[in-house]
Amino acid sequence: MIYLDYTANAPVEPRVLEAFCAAEERLIGNANAKHSAGMEAAAAMARAGETCAALLGVQPGELIFTSGASEGNNTAILGIAHANRHVGRHIITTPLEHASVSGCLTSLQERGWEVDVLDVGRDGRIDLDQLQSLLRRSTALVTLCAVDSELGVVQPVKETSEIVRSFPDCHLHVDATQIVGKLPFDFSLADTVSLSAHKFGGINGSGLLWKRSDVEMEPLIHGGVSTTLYRSGTPAVGLAVALAEALQIAVREQKGRYEVVKGLNQRLRRELAGRGGVTIHSPEDALPHILNLGVASIKGAAFRDALAERDVCVSVKSACSVENTPSRAVYAVTRNRRQALESWRISLSHLTTADELDAFLSIFDEVREKLKP
């Protein structure tokens, strides 16, 4: 198998799995229980939070352990929207968001909220002048991804934050799923930030939502205080311990891993640029882990399926997207429906080898020859 879909899911780090298994075996108490087993579990949960907070540059009490970024995005967007109805029912977003963001916004629109979608340039970045012009006193929330999962565009979060801050009643939510563990990110630029552990060697079903302490937000899950007012339920101590371990490894190894992936990306760009009919949609300064491309006159889904038959794993759009529809992200950048239908995504890791890329490029040529009209 040649695995080139790390943006959808990365394999768990062995040390992370060991930490999870050890915690699950040893910490048998409910962290909400007021006995020795419960207090031991609560202490481990607190240590995991402190570790994550130190690595992310935030306060432990501002972190909410979640089941992943989809829950984090839902909690932040719906929670802020409902808690700030008195401000207004206007929200601004981008066409590059994950389905867990766009789905939330569709739900809010159906219940009376107004949503404006920013234009993006050919480089995939949002139009900051348009953002400034769309903001108004009734804007309760601006939500955007730090890096989108289809093109790898790195958004100007700092500049966005400066503009949003000029409206004191407006909040900024950032989906940081594709940037944490790959590039440095300043959490203080936003009011809420979501991330998911399985993107950087953690375990599926675990994530974090950071909420600035003074942000008003209604909880998505009700039923008790637990470790936070904003998420009821029995704390998943093993997952929290594992997430902290994965984050430590990812942050410690971040720079070296980034350089490896950058080299792989540059090689792929060179090789693919020399093949006629190939269009690379990811801008040159995109996160190198993501390379979006298309082959003329061949639908992206058809190319993906043909590669899958050869045991090569790539994606069309994000793994959570609806099949057989054009890529919203690629269409937003190209303004071309055909190219949006032809697009598909390679995503790389420090685990990707040169031999894998050799084999992939050979298979790519065979598939293109087989599918060309």
By annotation, the residues acting in catalysis are 320
Distance from C-alpha of 302 to C-alpha of 125, rounded to nearest angstrom: 29
CB atoms within 10 A of CB 274: 8
Backbone angles phi, psi at 315, to 5 degrees: -130, 155
Residue 187 C-alpha from the chain's centroid: 14
- As given in the structure block, the two tokens for residue 314 are 């790539």
Q: Where are the beta strands (DSSP E) in the chain?
A: 2-3, 63-66, 90-93, 114-117, 139-145, 171-175, 192-196, 207-211, 278-280, 290-295, 312-313, 343-347
Which secondary structure element, helix H or strand E, spans residue 24, and what is its range?
helix 14-26
Residue 102's DSSP bridge partners are: none
Place of tokens 């994530």: 207
